[in-house]
Amino acid sequence: MEFLERILRIFKKSPKIAYARAQSVDLIELKRNPYYIVASVELGNTTTKSIVTATNMDTGNTYIVSKYVRMTREVRPPKKGEEVFGKTIWGVELTKESVAEMVRDVLLGALRRGNLTVEDLHFVVRSTGVTAGFATPEEVTNMIIALAEGCLKAGVPPSKMTPAMSKSQLPKPFDRYSLMDKVIFDGAVTGVLPPTGKEVVANEMEGELVTAGIKVGAKWTHVDFRNPCMSIDFGTTLAGRITDDSKPYAHVVGNLCGLAGAIADSIVRGSGLVSREKGAVLDIKDKGGKIDRELAEEYGEEIHRYIKICEVPKGVKRFGTVPVDPESAEKAGTTLIGCDVGENGSDLPKLEEIGRRILEESNIPTLLYTLDVVSAKTTERLVKLAWDKGLISDRSALGITGRAGITGEKPRLILERLSGLDIWDKPEDNLVFVEDGLALGASIMARCMNCLGTPQNPVGGNRGDRCILGERRRWQKERGMIR
C-alpha cells in the first residue's frame, strides 16, 4: 500500500512535457486561406529530406504539409568524370551531380505527397549538416552550388530562393502582410543577430535554423521559447545556439558542435543489427521485450566515460569532426561548447564494442533505452556546462530537436535529469521538444527574409515580452538603415 501511494504521488506530480508534434493542414484549407508555403531541403549525414510547411499569416501558426525522407547513403556513387568534393561523416562520397539529383528527387517527392506543384511554393530554403565534416571552404561552396542546382532541376525558379527587394515582388496577397515599409531585413532571424566576423563553426546555419524552428514549434505548447534560450539539435552531428536577452536583438553567446546522433549510430553498429559501415539507429526494427533499465543505466554511465563535453580548446581546427575556429569565436564573444568521443571520434569503435555487449546480455529494447539514457546525460552535461560558464540563467528556455534528442523515452529522462540541476523551479515550463526543428526554421527564415511578420503572435523578442517591431525600427533608424 505504501508503495502504491508513492507511485500515485509521483504520477500526480508528474509535469507536462512540452512536445511540439507536427501539426497538419488539409489541401482545401491551404488553398482557401493566406498560407505562406515554404519547402526546406536538407542533405544531412544520415538522412536527406524535404519538408513542406505552411504558415497561416493571419495567426502566425505553422503547419507541416508533407514530408519526404531518404537515407543519404542512397546518394548514387560518382560517375566517370565527376569530381568528388566531399564526404559525409560516414564516408559517403558526394559530387555536385549526385547531390543535385538527390535534392531534386526529395523535393519533388515532398510535393507529390502534398498534392502540390512547384508553382504552389512561395519559397525554398536549402541547408546541409554534411559541411560539419568538410575540410575546406571550397567543399562548402560546392555543396551550396549542388543544393541550388538540385532545386533548379526540380523546376524551382531562382526568385523563389532569394528574398524580395520590395513589396511589389511578393506574390499576392502576401504583400499586405510584409513589413518592408517599416523595417528591412538586416540578417536577424527571430530576433537574433548573426555573429560578426569569421564563421566560428561549420554548421552555424544549422544552429540558426534549429533555434528559429524551435521558436516556431513551441507556439503549439505552453512554453514561451524566445530569448534568452539554448537550442540543442541532436542530428548526426551536434548543433545549436545560446542567446542572451539583449534588445531589440539578442546576441549569440554560445555555439554547440561535435558528435550527437553519430554516438548512438556507433553503439548500434556494434550490435550487429545494422550495417557496420553505413547503418543507423533508424534501421532498427524493435521486436519487443522487457527493458532492463538497471543494465541500461550501467552501460549509459560506461559509455559516458568516453564522451567528452567541454569548451572547445584554443588552437584546435576540429572538434568532434566539426571544423571550428575558437579564436574567431572568442573575438565574436561566443563560447564554443563541443561533444566528442575521444579525439574527433577516435573512440567510436569502443562504443561499438559496448553495443555488442549490451545485445549479448539483453535485448533490443534495452539497447534502445541505453541510447535514451546516453542522450539524457549528454543534455544534462551540456546544460550544466552552459550554466557553469554563465551562458544561461533561470530565465533561459531550453529547446531540443533532432532524432537523437526527442525519440523514445528521452524527453522524460531529460526532464528528470534537468530537475536535478536546480536551475529552474519548474523545468517543465522552460523545456520544449520539437519535431522537425530545422524545417520549421526554414519556414520562419523565409518569412524573416521577406519581412513577413505576425506582430500579434511574435516569434522574436524576449520571453513574456511584446513584439519588438517598434524597437527594431528605432534601432535601424539610429544606424541610418531606414528613414
- pLDDT score for 69: 96
- pLDDT score for 151: 97
- pLDDT score for 278: 87
- Show contacts of 329-335: CB within 8 Å, 24+ apart: 329/200, 329/201, 329/255, 331/197, 332/195, 332/196, 332/197, 332/200, 332/252, 333/251, 333/253, 334/195, 334/200, 334/252, 334/253, 334/254, 334/255, 335/242, 335/253, 335/254, 335/255, 335/311, 335/389, 335/391
- pLDDT score for 28: 81
- pLDDT score for 65: 94
- pLDDT score for 136: 66
Taking only the tens place, the pLDDT of each residue in 255-281 is 999 999 999 999 999 999 999 888 999
- pLDDT score for 347: 97
Domain ranges of the chain: 204-439
Q: What is the DSSP string of 323-359?
A: EB-HHHHHHTT-EEEEEEESSTTTTHHHHHHHHHHHH
- pLDDT score for 376: 98
| Residue numbers in the chain where pLDDT is lower than 50 | 1-13
Residues 404 and 261: their CA atoms lie apart, in Å, by: 5
All cell numbers assigned to 332: 565574436
**Positive or negative, the Cα torsion across 213, 264, 93, 320?**
positive
- pLDDT score for 216: 95
| DSSP letter, residue 423 | S
- pLDDT score for 289: 87
Nearest to 96 by CA among 79, 73, 121, 120: 79
Q: What is the DSSP string of 107-169?
A: HHHHHHHTT--GGG-SEEEEEESGGGG--SHHHHHHHHHHHHHHHHHTT--GGGSS--SSGGG
Residues 27 and 156: their CA atoms lie apart, in Å, by: 21
- pLDDT score for 7: 36
- pLDDT score for 22: 73
